[in-house]
Structure 1
Amino acid sequence: MDYVLLISRLGNQLREKRIARGLTQVQLAELAGLTRYNIIAVEKGAPSVSMIAYARTLAALDSELVVIPAVMPTLEELAELFNDL
């Protein structure tokens, strides 16, 4: 599985978690000790984002990363990947 799809999924999950908690990107950035720009990059699944930024974001959301077997991408995920090119 392509790493771009995996970090895109992680970013989407973090965004959904933030929204479910009722937090803005600015509020999450403050909790995580990051900038809003970093949170935007995390939620987009930008390849340049450090693992530290993901870890801080996860911790600020009282969440942790769990490794599970990858599943095949959906057609929507594939379309998004090609739109980003």
Structure 2
Amino acid sequence: MEYTLLMSRLGSQIRETRIRRGLTQARLAELAGLTRQKVIAVEKGTHSVAMNAYARVLSALDCELAVVPATMPTLEELGELFE
């Protein structure tokens, strides 16, 4: 699977979790000890963001990574790869 798709999915899951918990990007940044701009980059799945930033955001959300088999990309996800 294309790594850019995996980064995008991770960012989307982080964003959805933040919203479900009623947190703003600014509040999550505060909890994670990051800037709001870094949280935005994490939620976008930006490739240049260090794993440390992802770990800090996940920790602030009381979440952790789990390794699971990849699923086939949706048509929407495939379209985003070519934007």
TM-score of Structure 1 vs Structure 2, range by shorter chain: over 0.9
C-alpha deviations, 1:24-63, integer Å up to 9, x for none? 0000000000000100000000000000000000000000
**Which residue is equivalent to 2:46?**
46
**Which residue is equivalent to 1:73?**
73
Q: Any unmatched runs of 5+ in structure 1?
A: none
**Which residue is equivalent to 2:26?**
26
RMSD: 0.5
Q: CA deviation at 1:82?
A: 1.2
Which of structure 1's runs of 4+ aligned residues deviate more than 3 A? none
How many residues get paired? 83
Q: In structure 1, the residue corresponding to 2:82 is in which secondary structure?
A: helix
Q: In structure 2, the residue corresponding to 1:65 is in which secondary structure?
A: coil
TM-score computed with the length of structure 1 as normaliser = 0.96
Q: Structure 1 counterpart of 2:5, which letter? A: L
Q: CA deviation at 1:66?
A: 0.3
